[in-house]
Structure 1
Amino acid sequence: MTGILLSVLGLLAVVALTAGTFIAVAAEFSLTALERSTVESHVAHVGDAKAKAVDKAHRSLSFQLSGAQLAITFTTLITGYIAEPAIAQLLSPGLTAVGVPTSVAAPISLAIALALATTLSMVFGELVPKNLAISRPLETARAVAGLQAGFSSVFRWLINGMNGAANWMVRRLGVEPAEELASARSPQELGALVRSSAEHGTIDEGTAALLGRSLRFGDRTAGELMTPRVRVESLRADATVLDLVAKARETGKSRFPVHSGDLDEVRGIVHVKQAFSVPRERRATTPLSALTRPVQTVPETLEGDALLDRLRASGLQTALVVDEYGGTAGLVTLEDVVEEIVGDVRDEHDRRESAPVRALGGDSWMVSGLLRDDEVAEATGFRMPEGDYETLAGLVLSELGRIPDVGDEVHLDGWRITVMQMEKHRVAELRVAKVESAETGVSR
């Protein structure tokens, strides 16, 4: 009878120890899962004792995690020491009663006791609190942070000693230990959070796309944002104000570089609104050189953030992009920068221009050859392989090894890219279609 009573008391002790493991595991995972901003916001809005306990524990995260590990080690070791003989002692008489020899019943009962104790400790002491803490970290931390902090305070001397030894070893590896998790996030990490939030419905797709473009903007360069040289509309310095008005009416554009015969000899820029400062009777004889204003130049490699600052400071919000040899590579405007962030911006003057991406239905799109790899992927899902090119047209040129003709096709990883329109030697438009066959190659 005494043996059974001791076994029952042992099982009660196991329950208490498993509860201790539960608290330590819940504290470990909930404190780790919490963002610093979430904790600070909770303290600001709630500010009760539990909120302050969570804040205090989160500020000494490394110490609290060490305390949780110590608690888990203590409770699981003691649980195994008590549970196995207690359960085995309760099982052994039952096995003997059903005819199992005493010499065999003892090891069998011990094996069953070991399996039961391990399973119960793993499920109720570790897996359940882990899943709970990951699913609801703030609520879990409020429930257990104070208890875990109390345990850590009692064993501070032991925790500090073990932490000191561990930190010494980490520093020998060239790493400086941190007391708190880093709260700052890189643009790539923020982008991943945005995509995950969109997938789970936390934010709508339009907002996610806008945030994603904004985060990627800092990695863009003037060379990626500009209108390429071959598409820049310009005027000669000896052209008249009437020519400026006619060019603006023809193209729907308002700003034009003014050159001496070649875009590598740009003298400045002129805006169509300047034509209104010239009397009507003098517009046919007034040369554009009289209206030309200086235009700033920027290198192709200038980053997007710096480019935005320069364009905003410029009166005409335009800059000439030059390559490494000093030649004109293209023209970039504030509208180009805005479109990189918010998407294609179209007004009444853009109606004659085709949209850069048009859905054709059936996993097929008509796209501009000037789209970059990230723009193609965002619009169609097709990811361009890495290579010595920047645009979809460049990919087709690389694959064909020659200037394409209308109707040429490139097959890549289950996608078919067809040349639909050429402008002289430039690939203007292509059809991108997803096909079932995964063949790779070119065809006509």
Structure 2
Amino acid sequence: MAVTIEILIIILLIILNGLFSMAEFALVSARRIRLQQMLDRGEKGADIALSLSEDPNTFLSTIQIGITLVGILAGAFGGAAIAKELEGTFTVIPEIAPYAGIISLFVVVLIITYFTLVFGEIIPKRIGLVYPEQIAVKAAGSIVIISRIFGPINKMASLTTDAVLWLFNSHAPQDPVVTEEDITSLLEEGTQAGVFNEAEQELVQSAFKFGDREVTTLMAPRPDVVFLDLEDSFEENKEKILTSGHTRYPVCRGGLDSVIGVVSVRDLWSQMTAGEKPDLTLLIQEALVIPEHITALRLLELFRTATTPLAVIMDEYGSVAGIITLHDLLEAIVGDLSTVDEPDEEPGIIEREDGSWFIDGMLPAEELRLLLELEILPGENEGVYRTAAGFVMSELGKIPIPGDHFVLNGIRFEVADMDKRRIDKIIVSKIRHRGDENPDEKTDNHTTS
């Protein structure tokens, strides 16, 4: 009878240990956003679980008190009656009869440890990890009741924990509950699991990058801007329209820095087909003029109320730095879009057969850094440059000529082509052989031709 009672008590203690372990892992693993969703749906216990997740000291102390008490009780019972009953099995073997008591106790402890480990720890914790929110909601009420029963001990344990953490300067981090990196990681996991497809993942990641980018990394820079000049004849302006193939143009008087507005080719065509004499001054729309340091996301908001989907970007000196369209912003999110009004553009990055890259000078510096898997480019955070061409020119320290090159962190950068004084194309290659260049060359040690 005593053996049966002892077995039942040990089974009960293992179950209690399992429940505490499962509740602990569930509350630690539960995501607050899902608990909030459950609360919004009115699920019972979600509010308690959410409050516990915001104050981990309360439930961790309570659960550890429960697990410790279970361990003490298990040690107090310890299967002594079971070991005594089992001792007779070993006494019939003469070789081990003198040690029958010790062996029987060891066997009982081994069996109890095994079942505690499997059914009191591993299985409950696995269940808590698989269904964290559901279990957290169901266990939260019981944890609160137990914490009130052991209130003084719980409070003392929490204060002691805080004091020790303070001594070791281990304060709770003040990071946001959900970060951009968290969402990116969830997207990657979801894509691998088949919940999202790769296109959806790339779209969301592009949207995150889009919000941080300045308009100057997306604009058509000043040398590439095609504009219509009111001081030129209509035939001259018509030739610009025919050769460039855009749908909208900045209209200036005497030069690009004297921007008056924007003209749509569609409006000009309508004017001509109606039999009227072409007159750009009658078709000019107000231009959206913006500073060069605003973000692409801010510009997107401005376009919602603008009269034309083309913005003129001004630098701090009042000169035109470039132009940008709503189409440019859309491409920054969804990728390259072929349109009837724009000729096909060469890709910014072309990987060659030998493993090197043929890079457009106007490639944003951020994309160059990501391509090369570098943490930071020299001078990038200081705003010294915005493009790959600007980076190369900054490192060379001069207006280069084709063939000029330098080595940075085992990567060789060579100027392949120039467009007047602007770097047009760059060849980037990783140094693989000692004979090419010194791959360990310092960042400020450049080789130029």
Q: If the length of structure 2 is used for normalisation, what is the TM-score? A: 0.76
Which residue does 1:271 correspond to in 2? 264
CA spacing shift, 1:19–1:416, aligned 2, 3 Å:
farther
CA spacing shift, 1:416–1:77, aligned 2, 3 Å:
farther
Tell me if the contact between 2:409 and 2:440 (Cα under 8 Å) persists in the aligned partners. Answer: yes
Tell me if the contact between 2:6 and 2:79 (Cα under 8 Å) persists in the aligned partners. Answer: no
Question: Is 1:320 aligned to 2:312, yes or no?
Answer: yes
CA spacing shift, 1:351–1:325, aligned 2, 3 Å:
closer
C-alpha deviations, 1:289-313, integer Å up to 9, x for none? 5644432322222233221111221
Q: Distance in 2 between matches of 1:105 and 1:442?
A: 82
Tell me if the contact between 2:36 and 2:50 (Cα under 8 Å) persists in the aligned partners. Answer: no
Structure 1 unmatched ranges of 5 or more: none
Which residue does 1:340 correspond to in 2? 332
Which residue does 1:126 correspond to in 2? 121
Q: Distance in 2 between matches of 1:240 and 1:129?
A: 83
Name the aligned partner's letter for residue 24 of structure 2. Answer: E
C-alpha deviations, 1:57-98, integer Å up to 9, x for none? 345444555433332232233334443867876898859964
C-alpha deviations, 1:21-46, integer Å up to 9, x for none? 2111211222332334434656888x
Structure 2 unmatched ranges of 5 or more: 380-384, 434-438
- Higher helix content, 1 or 2: 1
C-alpha deviations, 1:224-273, integer Å up to 9, x for none? 33222222222333123333332122112222223344433333333323
Q: Distance in 2 between matches of 1:372 and 1:84?
A: 71
Which residue does 2:187 correspond to in 1? 194
C-alpha deviations, 1:327-372, integer Å up to 9, x for none? 3222122112111111122213333532323444564443322222
SS in 2 for 1:314: coil
Tell me if the contact between 1:367 and 1:431 (Cα under 8 Å) persists in the aligned partners. Answer: yes
Tell me if the contact between 2:45 and 2:140 (Cα under 8 Å) persists in the aligned partners. Answer: no
Tell me if the contact between 1:237 and 1:260 (Cα under 8 Å) persists in the aligned partners. Answer: yes
C-alpha deviations, 1:110-143, integer Å up to 9, x for none? 88987876676455433433233223435xx44x
Q: Which stretch of the first structure deviates more once superposed, 209-218 or 25-34?
A: 25-34
Tell me if the contact between 2:147 and 2:154 (Cα under 8 Å) persists in the aligned partners. Answer: no
Which residue does 1:404 correspond to in 2? 400
Q: By how many angstroms is 1:161 displaced?
A: 6.7
SS in 2 for 1:215: helix
Tell me if the contact between 1:23 and 1:148 (Cα under 8 Å) persists in the aligned partners. Answer: no
Question: Is 1:375 aligned to 2:367, yes or no?
Answer: yes
Which residue does 1:73 correspond to in 2? 68
Name the aligned partner's letter for residue 291 of structure 2. Answer: P
SS in 1 for 2:257: helix
CA spacing shift, 1:41–1:294, aligned 2, 3 Å:
closer
Q: 1:387 aligns with which of 368, 378, 396?
A: 378
SS in 1 for 2:400: coil
Tell me if the contact between 2:303 and 2:326 (Cα under 8 Å) persists in the aligned partners. Answer: yes
Q: By how many angstroms is 1:277 displaced?
A: 5.2
Q: Distance in 1 between matches of 2:242 and 2:369?
A: 35
Name the aligned partner's letter for residue 420 of structure 1. Answer: A
Tell me if the contact between 1:415 and 1:433 (Cα under 8 Å) persists in the aligned partners. Answer: yes
Q: Distance in 1 between matches of 2:17 and 2:246?
A: 70
Name the aligned partner's letter for residue 219 of structure 1. Answer: D
Which residue does 2:382 correspond to in 1? none
Identity of aligned residues (%): 27
Tell me if the contact between 2:36 and 2:46 (Cα under 8 Å) persists in the aligned partners. Answer: no
CA spacing shift, 1:82–1:304, aligned 2, 3 Å:
farther
SS in 2 for 1:330: strand
SS in 2 for 1:404: coil
Tell me if the contact between 2:48 and 2:140 (Cα under 8 Å) persists in the aligned partners. Answer: no
Question: Is 1:215 aligned to 2:211, yes or no?
Answer: no
SS in 2 for 1:351: coil
Q: Residues 96-111 of structure 1 correspond to what in structure 2 (within 5 A)? A: 98=95
Q: Distance in 1 between matches of 2:417 and 2:17?
A: 68
C-alpha deviations, 1:151-186, integer Å up to 9, x for none? 5425524248735873798699799999xx999523
Q: Distance in 2 between matches of 1:11 and 1:225?
A: 73
Tell me if the contact between 2:231 and 2:254 (Cα under 8 Å) persists in the aligned partners. Answer: no
SS in 2 for 1:348: coil
Q: Distance in 1 between matches of 2:229 and 2:7?
A: 95
Q: By how many angstroms is 1:214 displaced?
A: 1.0
Q: Residues 432-443 of structure 1 correspond to what in structure 2 (within 5 A)? A: 432-433=428-429, 436-437=432-433, 438-440=439-441, 442=447
Q: Distance in 1 between matches of 2:81 and 2:365?
A: 65
Q: Distance in 1 between matches of 2:140 and 2:286?
A: 68
CA RMSD of aligned residues (A): 4.3
Q: By how many angstroms is 1:435 displaced?
A: 5.5
Question: Is 1:233 aligned to 2:256, yes or no?
Answer: no
Q: Residues 3-402 of structure 1 correspond to what in structure 2 (within 5 A)? A: 5=2, 9-10=5-6, 12-39=8-35, 52-53=44-45, 56-61=48-53, 62=55, 63-83=58-78, 98=95, 121-122=116-117, 124-138=119-133, 141-142=134-135, 146=138, 149-150=141-142, 152-159=144-151, 162-163=154-155, 166=158, 185-276=178-269, 278-279=271-272, 282-283=277-278, 286=279, 288=280, 291-360=283-352, 363-376=355-368, 380=371, 382-383=373-374, 385-388=376-379, 389-402=385-398
Q: If the length of structure 1 is used for normalisation, what is the TM-score? A: 0.77
Tell me if the contact between 1:33 and 1:134 (Cα under 8 Å) persists in the aligned partners. Answer: yes
CA spacing shift, 1:56–1:352, aligned 2, 3 Å:
closer
Which residue does 2:436 correspond to in 1? none
Tell me if the contact between 2:393 and 2:399 (Cα under 8 Å) persists in the aligned partners. Answer: yes
Q: Distance in 2 between matches of 1:341 and 1:363?
A: 27
Tell me if the contact between 1:170 and 1:177 (Cα under 8 Å) persists in the aligned partners. Answer: no
Tell me if the contact between 2:44 and 2:137 (Cα under 8 Å) persists in the aligned partners. Answer: no
CA spacing shift, 1:148–1:230, aligned 2, 3 Å:
same
